């Protein structure tokens, strides 16, 4: 496995990075707008840093279906926050969750270090933006879905093979476009273009993604596949399932973990590190 480098920091194989979610959206599935206000969002960043976050991932558009958010509105929601966080936390790695090159260019100038493309390269210009500004890129597998849509009877011959083939191709294309290889991550994107069975299969075989050599990011926090697997639990009751999924992912070699609760994730992953060291893994 390779070293991951973001904003001058290095994460070596076996080292975990916590990515805390901060959504400037009025309709997030998890916090339902709790951090939509500018001050509330800044406070959430402060809390995440205090809880041990290495990265904050700022989003301005809800992942699921909802009201239309055009690029200008997305920029209004995230660019000023990125600039304020950069001033407030100079050493923090700032990620922005966007699939739009137009948005990526603005937030890169505002101080972002990573573009988290959860929709899998629907805007091919995003990699060029990351290359131009010397920042990182997350290459995800969303089953070739249109942004903000849910899968309908999605099917794969082998979901893990599809995930690996697609994300590695995106990563190689990003590197060819000029993004530093050590600043590219791949993400299976659980629940994006996948049903619960697909997400569980990806989780069970995550070591195959790790085996590509690209650093793997997992974003499983409080997701629907966790709730459905545990008997249909609502979002607010998925915390234990989230921590269990993080541990399984970490044991298989995932490197970056996108979460809503940085402190508990840090504690869980520290326990995984200790257990692996004792087991000689």
Whole-structure pTM value: 0.96
Cβ contact 85:94 at 8 Å = yes
Phi/psi of residue 10, nearest 5 degrees: -115, 135
Q: How far apart are CA 61 and CA 83, in angstroms?
A: 18
Domains, the chain, ranges and CATH? 15-279 (3.20.20.20)
Cβ contact 133:107 at 8 Å = no
Q: Output the tens digit of pLDDT for each of the chain's 281 residues.
A: 689 999 999 999 989 999 999 999 998 877 778 999 999 999 999 999 999 999 999 999 999 888 899 999 999 999 999 999 999 999 999 999 999 999 999 999 999 999 999 999 999 999 999 999 999 999 999 999 999 998 778 999 999 999 999 999 999 999 999 999 999 999 999 999 999 999 999 999 999 999 999 999 999 999 999 999 999 999 999 999 999 999 999 999 999 999 999 999 999 999 999 998 888 76
Residue tagged 């596949």 (tokens): 225
Compute the half-sphere exposure of residue 276: CA atoms within 13 Å on the CB side of its CA.
18
């Amino acid at each position: 496995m390779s070293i991951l480098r973001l904003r001058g920091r290095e994460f070596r194989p076996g080292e975990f990075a916590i990515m805390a979610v901060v959504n400037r959206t009025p309709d997030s599935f998890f916090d339902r707008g709790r951090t939509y206000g500018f001050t509330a969002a800044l406070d959430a960043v402060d809390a995440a840093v205090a809880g041990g976050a290495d990265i904050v991932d700022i989003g301005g558009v809800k992942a699921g279906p909802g009201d239309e958010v055009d690029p200008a509105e997305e920029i209004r929601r995230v660019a000023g926050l990125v600039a304020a966080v950069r001033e407030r936390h100079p050493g923090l790695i700032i990620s922005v969750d966007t699939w739009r090159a137009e948005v990526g260019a603005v937030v890169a100038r505002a101080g972002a270090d990573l573009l988290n493309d959860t929709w899998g390269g629907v805007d091919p210009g995003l990699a060029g933006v990351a290359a131009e500004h010397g920042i990182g890129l997350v290459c995800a597998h969303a089953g070739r879905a249109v942004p903000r849509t849910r899968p309908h009877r999605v099917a794969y011959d082998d979901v893990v093979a599809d995930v690996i083939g697609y994300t590695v191709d995106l990563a190689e294309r990003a590197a060819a476009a000029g993004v530093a290889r050590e600043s590219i991550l791949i993400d299976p994107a659980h629940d994006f273009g996948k049903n619960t069975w697909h997400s569980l299969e990806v989780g069970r075989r995550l070591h195959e993604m790790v085996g590509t050599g690209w650093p793997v990011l997992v974003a499983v926090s409080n997701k629907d596949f966790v709730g459905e697997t545990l008997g249909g639990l609502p979002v607010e009751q998925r915390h234990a399932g989230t921590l269990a999924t993080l541990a399984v992912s970490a044991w298989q070699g995932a490197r970056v973990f996108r979460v809503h609760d940085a402190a508990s994730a840090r504690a869980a992953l520290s326990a995984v590190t200790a257990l692996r060291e004792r087991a000689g893994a």
